[in-house]
């Protein structure tokens, strides 16, 4: 498993390229606002793009999907249905405008996607948005805007929920063992450090 990250767009969203190098397949997680640049990056990796995966439906994570699909038109795009709408209300949408049948796929709690020899497991972690998910692959969590280094995603958007994100953080905190954490913004971290130093996760862990 090889993971590369690239900060994309004006608010520096972390886009990740997850590769199974042996089988030469990859997935893009949150192409942000720079689909063309992400497409070049995929091409350079030498891996075939198998999935585009969204951690949630905020524009800074998904706007690049359209351009990326122009380069890779048959790629399935996964998101939790709670974060999608029929059509976009503005370019800065906080919901993902659903795609046509050819590309649109949905995922939710417990779903598993196979990427070569890798298994990507979906955990629903609402709070930052109603359809936020974390993607667990081996000892890595792609946390979207649920868990940040020492912090967590904001919950003041229309379907944000502060209590829900605390409970989602607690769920992550209760996972067995340590995991490397790749968040939607800012630097990577690991679960043990967050269990010790993240006040939101610590608060969540004291709740039911
Ligand atoms: Zn967000």
Give the pLDDT confidence of 81-120 residue by residue, as tens digits. 999 999 877 777 899 999 999 999 999 999 999 999 999 9
Domain hosting residue 61, numbered range: 2-205
Could you tell me the distance, in angstroms and rounded to a whole number, from the CA of residue 129 to the centre of ligand 1? 7
Two structure tokens written together for 117 = 């020899």
Number of domains in the chain: 1
Could you tell me the distance, in angstroms and rounded to a whole number, from the CA of residue 98 to the centre of ligand 1? 17
Residue 208: predicted pLDDT: 66
Residue 206: predicted pLDDT: 97
Report CA-CA distances (Å) from 59 to 10, 13, 98. 11, 10, 13
Strands 104-106 and 77-79, by their bridges, are parallel
For residue 80, is pLDDT > 80?
Answer: yes
Could you tell me the distance, in angstroms and rounded to a whole number, from the CA of residue 56 to the centre of ligand 1? 7
Two structure tokens written together for 96 = 């993902």
Q: Tell me the β-bridge partners of 208.
A: none
For residue 9, is pLDDT > 80?
Answer: yes
Could you tell me the distance, in angstroms and rounded to a whole number, from the CA of residue 61 to the centre of ligand 1? 7
Predicted confidence band at 47 (pLDDT cuts at 50, 70, 90)? very high
The predicted model gives 5-11 an average pLDDT of 91
Could you tell me the distance, in angstroms and rounded to a whole number, from the CA of residue 58 to the centre of ligand 1? 5
Higher pLDDT, 175 or 91: 175
On whether the pTM is more than 0.85, the answer is: yes
Predicted confidence band at 48 (pLDDT cuts at 50, 70, 90)? very high
Could you tell me the distance, in angstroms and rounded to a whole number, from the CA of residue 10 to the centre of ligand 1? 13
Q: 42: domain CATH number?
A: 3.60.15.10
**Is residue 180 packed enough to be buried (19+ CB in 10 Å), middle (13-18) or exposed (0-12)?**
middle
Q: Contact at 8 Å (CB) between 132 and 168?
A: yes
Phi-psi region of 24 (alpha: psi -120 to 50; beta: other; left: phi over 0): left
Q: Using H for helix, E for strand and C for coil, what is the string for 8-53?
A: ECCCCEEEEEEEECCCCEEEEECCCCCHHHHHHHHHHHCCEEEEEE
Could you tell me the distance, in angstroms and rounded to a whole number, from the CA of residue 112 to the centre of ligand 1? 23
Could you tell me the distance, in angstroms and rounded to a whole number, from the CA of residue 128 to the centre of ligand 1? 7
Residue 203: predicted pLDDT: 98
Pairwise CA distance, residues 141 & 148, whole Å = 11
């Amino acid at each position: 498993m090889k993971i590369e990250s690239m900060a994309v767009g004006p608010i520096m969203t972390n886009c990740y390229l997850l590769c199974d190098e042996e089988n030469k397949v990859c997935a893009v997680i949150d192409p942000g606002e720079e689909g063309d640049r992400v497409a070049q990056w995929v091409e350079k990796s030498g891996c075939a793009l198998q999935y585009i995966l969204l951690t949630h439906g905020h524009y800074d994570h998904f706007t690049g999907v359209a351009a990326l699909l122009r380069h890779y038109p048959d790629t399935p795009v996964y998101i939790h249905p709670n974060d999608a709408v029929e059509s976009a209300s503005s370019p800065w949408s906080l919901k993902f405008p659903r795609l046509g049948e050819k590309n649109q796929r949905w995922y939710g709690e417990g779903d598993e996607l196979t990427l070569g020899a890798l298994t990507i497991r979906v955990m629903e972690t609402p709070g930052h948005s109603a359809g936020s998910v974390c993607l667990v692959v081996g000892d890595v969590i792609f946390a979207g805007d649920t868990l940040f280094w020492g912090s967590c995603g904001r919950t003041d958007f229309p379907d944000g929920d502060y209590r829900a994100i605390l409970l989602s953080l607690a769920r992550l905190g209760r996972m067995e063992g340590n995991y490397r954490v790749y968040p939607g913004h800012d630097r990577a971290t690991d679960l043990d450090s967050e269990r010790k130093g993240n006040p939101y996760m610590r608060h969540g862990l004291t709740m039911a």
